[in-house]
Amino acid sequence: EVQLLESGGGLIQPGGSLRLSCAASGFTFSIYTMNWVRQAPGMGPEWLSSISNTGSKMYYADSVRGRFTISRDNAKNSVYLEMNSLRAEDTAVYYCARGPSALLEDWGQGTLVTVSS
Amino acid sequence: DVVMTQSPLSLPVTLGQPASISCKSSQSLLYSDGDTYLNWFQQRPGQSPRRLIYKVSNRDSGVPDRFSGSGSGTDFTLKISRVEAEDVGVYYCMQGTYWPRTFGQGTRVEIK
């Protein structure tokens, strides 16, 4: 069974940094593209970033490019999202998702990030 | 960015009756590889999104056959042949043809 478990969310002040993690199990992690998607309260999902299976290619939404960095460690079956210069509008549930970004096959349960003073 | 427009935004349905959700994209979603990357997701209350349909009309494993997807180009539809109580939630279409990937605003399905 595919499992994606996000962690690292919490309350952070504006301008702060946070690192999210997603631990994957139940599939061969190293052959899959991985993604981060967020959902602000009461809103639809927003795709943020994708990383190829080897980690050689990364893609970002304009809203986070230059502030967020996606990375992965295939030895640890994990994908990460380093978030800097956080703003109030970054408040959302952050999900990791498996598969090509065009398809987003499976999603984790999410981790809540709240940016507030 | 490609804009995905869903209608209606709220859909009250009687149990056992059909339901239909429209999704229109601002550009054709036909990709150069011949596929159309239009997906449908269901988000039940308090849960994360779950993919139901990929590439217009392909049902995911475990998805009941009362769910079906259709369409082409810029116009797509998700149909539920007979709504059940477990179908309550918000449904999103998503395009994967262009960067950035974008979602519709969502359609809330509720029982009358």
Give Cα separations from A46 to A43, A52, A105, B56 (angstroms): 9, 19, 15, 20
Q: Which of A46, A102, A108 is the closest to B48 by Cβ?
A: A108
Range A15-44 average pLDDT? 97
The confidence band for A54, taking pLDDT boundaries of 50, 70 and 90, is very high
Q: Cβ A47–B100 below 8 Å, yes or no?
A: yes
Range A11-31 average pLDDT? 98
By the 10 Å C-beta count (0-12 exposed, 13-18 middle, 19+ buried), B62 is classed as exposed
Compute mean pLDDT per 10 residues along chain B, 112 residues long, and list them: 98 98 98 97 97 98 97 98 98 97 98 96
Range A71-89 average pLDDT? 98
pLDDT at B14: 97
- Mean of pLDDT over chain A: 97
pLDDT at A6: 98
pLDDT at B70: 98
**One-character DSSP codes across A25-62:** ESS-GGGS-EEEEEE-TTS-EEEEEEE-TTS--EEE-T
Percent over 70 (pLDDT), chain B: 100
Strands B19-25 and B4-7, bridge-based pairing: antiparallel
pLDDT tens string B62-74 = 999 999 999 999 9
Q: Are A5 and A107 in contact (CB under 8 A)?
A: no
Range A28-32 average pLDDT? 98
**Other beta carbons within 10 Å of B28:** 14
Q: Cβ B96–A105 below 8 Å, yes or no?
A: no
pLDDT at A2: 97
Range A47-68 average pLDDT? 98
- B49 interface with A at CB cutoff 8 Å: yes
